[in-house]
Amino acid sequence: MVISLRKWLRSAKYLLLFIALAYSLYKGLGLLDEYVFRADKYRVPEGAAVKVFHEGTSGSSRMETLTDRLLLFFWYGE
């Protein structure tokens, strides 16, 4: 009985160590992601950059542009 309990405690110790290391790796990668990709992806473009999709267009022209974009996607595979 004592040997079995020691075995379970050793296993629990390694399991807790694994969970702690996995959690710290997860948080570390989150911090690295924040450091590398600081820029706001949804900000208004600056300089000569243009937005690809414009909201607020009329219904029929919007459907044409969506259809055209879909056709171009399948044609070029982008």
Cβ partners under 8 Å of residue 45, min gap 6: 51
Q: Which residue has the higher pLDDT, 7 or 46?
A: 7
pTM for the complete prediction?
Answer: 0.48
pLDDT single digits (tens) 58-70? 555 555 677 888 8
Distance CA 40, CA 53 (A): 17
Helix ranges, 1-78 (H): 2-36, 59-76
CA–CA distance, 39 with 62 (Å, rounded to integer) = 29
- Residue 33 CB coordination number (10 Å): 10
What pLDDT, in 10s, does the model give residues 11-24? 999 999 999 999 99
